[in-house]
Chains A and B, each alone.
Chain A
Amino acid sequence: MNARALARSPVASVVYVAAAWLVLVPLFKVQPRYLPPLPVVLADGLSVWPDLVAGFWRTLVETVLGFLAGVVLGVGFGIAFSASRIMERAFLPIFVALQTVPVIAFGAIVVIWFGNTIMAKVVIALYLAFFPIAVNTLRGLELADPQRIALMKSFGASHLQLFLKLALPTALPNILIGMKLAVALSLAGAIVGEWFGDTVGLGVMLLQALYFEQIPRVWVLIIACGAMGTLLYGALVLLERRFVWWRTD
């Protein structure tokens, strides 16, 4: 049973995919233009190791700062929406619509505002993280069951107590869902933000690899981006298991 759980874990997936890459690429003589052999990619990664670490670190900082700011702002707006019906009916549809807007196109504008600073990337990451968190916070807060609200009121609970003891715990699983969606978007935002002009970061390295047509380098960076995405997602899952273990039905 335990071995089976291990076999299904993401770590096993990575090992399995790496093994397949190692074996199948030479076996089927896949052209390096599409997928270079794994050792070639790893060697390339090692050759630029210091740059890679610096870029990884920079992109991680941009992503995390933007994500955290997005959480604060998103949860705040979610609470405001749930507190005011007019706010919700007037602004939520605009939010939902804005979510479908190709927000990354704003990257150019944000760079005009903030120049080539780290702020520009943070703001783009924030912007992308904000919507899913706000929408999921609102949906979560709306899940509070009227009968439980009535029960709390019968105990004489104040608005604040109702919010802290019932609405917020009910909403937390949903907020976590929003955060998991948001963290991937923050990462994408930070990477694209770097394309509008910067010198350090995984996005910058991706752009350079594209210009010099270095396919192994592109694969190194894809792996690095995947590792960062997994790291951030994994951190959220750990947070969830530790602090938000209950489910809202």
Chain B
Amino acid sequence: MAYGLRFIRSAWPVASALALLLLLWQFGAAALDIPTYILPRPAEIFVTAIAKWPLLGDALTVTLIEAVGGFLLGAAIGIVLAVLMILVPPLEALLMPIAVVINAVPSIAFVPLVLLWFGLGMESKIAIGALAVVLVVLLNLLAGLKRPEADAINLMRSFGAGRIGILWRLQLPAAMPGLVTGLRVGLARSTIAVIVAEMMGAYSGIGQVIYQATGQVDYLTVWAAVFVASLGSLALYGVLVAIDRKLVWWR
């Protein structure tokens, strides 16, 4: 009950601001006589999104499956690598330079390569999504695992804790905030990378819808697709925030 009240109190400024922006857009564009092909009105976009839902819904499903698949794969690889590097320091010395070099390249620059390797199907999208996530999760988690100070590690040692004990009871919990940051950034990146890859070559997906609609000069559909994709990635983000709260419960 109290929670609901607090939610309403924090939600109303956002809701009214959003409504204000939409109204400004809707009537401002009309008042300034901006042609709809340059800036469609929100109402039109909404109507188009609903009218084209069979197409957009299917495309969104494909995109979300690819984005979530890539995200999960990349996060899993990143987490395993970070833990291995902490347990086996020579591995870090061996692999870290490669991670640093790959991290310097914007992940979308790998899109052509991934398309050439894995073809136009879902595999290439999942691969690019995973690539966009791996490094940010790896680097954030590794920094987090190294965060506990020497004093805290010494305390654990004085209790007779071994390497695994220190990792499990001290380093992993201490790294959770870093991991959560990495996961959030990674999710946004993997969604973007997947949509970009779809634009460059795919059989289906939101990116492909946008690409085709641009080619057919059907700008209303482009806007509707962007709108639907935004709702989709917002929903994903919401799920992730809820999971993050569970991972960092003590704040």
Task: Tell me whether A105 and B116 are in contact (CB under 8 A).
Answer: no
Task: Establish whether residues A105 and B14, one from each chain, have CB atoms under 8 Å apart when the complex forms.
Answer: no
Does the CB pair B230–A215 fall under 8 Å?
A: no
Q: Specify which chain A residues have a CB less than 8 angstroms from the CB of B191 in the assembled complex.
A: 100, 102
A184 contacts which chain B residues (CB < 8 A)?
A: 106
Main secondary structure of the interface of A (DSSP, over half): helix
Complexed CA–CA distance, A191 and B196 (Å): 11
Q: Is B207 an interface residue (CB 8 A)?
A: yes
- Would A207 and B195 be within 8 Å (CB), given that A101-B233, A222-B105 are in contact? no
Q: Contact at B112–A17, with CB atoms within 8 Å?
A: no
Residue tally, chain B, CB below 8 Å to A: 53
Q: State the 6 A-B residue pairs at the shortest beta-carbon distance, nearest first.
A: A13-B97, A90-B17, A210-B112, A226-B105, A90-B13, A225-B109
Interface string of B100-120 (1 = CB under 8 A from A): 110011111111110111000
Q: How far is the CB of B13 from chain A (nearest CB, A)?
A: 4
Check B105–A225 contact: CB distance below 8 A: yes
Contact A100 B97 (CB under 8 A): no
Least distance between A77 CB and chain B CB atoms (Å): 14
Q: Closest CB-CB distance, B152 to chain A, in whole Å?
A: 18
Asked whether any CB of chain B lies closer than 8 Å to the CB of A53, the reply is no
18 more CB-based (< 8 A) A-B contacts, given A99-B188, A192-B108: A10-B104, A13-B97, A89-B13, A91-B17, A94-B21, A97-B234, A100-B236, A100-B237, A101-B229, A101-B233, A104-B108, A105-B225, A188-B108, A206-B112, A207-B200, A210-B115, A215-B116, A226-B109
Q: How far is the CB of B44 from chain A (nearest CB, A)?
A: 14
* Interface locus among A108-116, A147-155, A162-170: A108-116
Provide a sorted-by-A list of 20 A–B residue pairs whose CB atoms are within 8 angstroms.
A10-B100, A10-B104, A13-B96, A14-B97, A34-B117, A90-B13, A101-B230, A101-B234, A104-B192, A105-B206, A109-B223, A112-B38, A112-B219, A192-B108, A206-B109, A209-B112, A215-B116, A225-B106, A229-B104, A229-B106
Interface of B, secondary structure class, is helix
Name the distance in Å between B107's Cβ and chain A's nearest Cβ: 8
Instruction: Give A215 to B211 CA distance when docked, in angstroms.
Output: 24
Smallest CB–CB gap between A17 and chain B, Å? 5
- Chain A residues bordering chain B, tally (CB within 8 A): 52
Bound-state CA distance A187–B107 (Å) is 11
B200 to chain A, nearest CB (A): 7
Contacts of B18 in A (CB 8 A): 94
Beta-carbon nearest neighbor of A206 in chain B = B112
Given contacts A112-B38, A113-B38, contact A100 B233 (CB under 8 A): yes
Q: Contact string, B189-213, partner A, CB cutoff 8 A, digits 1/0?
A: 0011001100111000011001101
In Å, the complex CA distance between A97 and B105 comes to 26
Collect the chain B residues with CB atoms within 8 Å of residue A213's CB.
116
Determine if A93 is an interface residue (Cβ-Cβ < 8 Å): yes
A242: Cβ under 8 A from any B Cβ: no
Scan residues 69-117 of chain A and give those whose CB is less than 8 A from a CB of chain B: 86, 89-91, 93-94, 97, 99-106, 108-109, 112-113
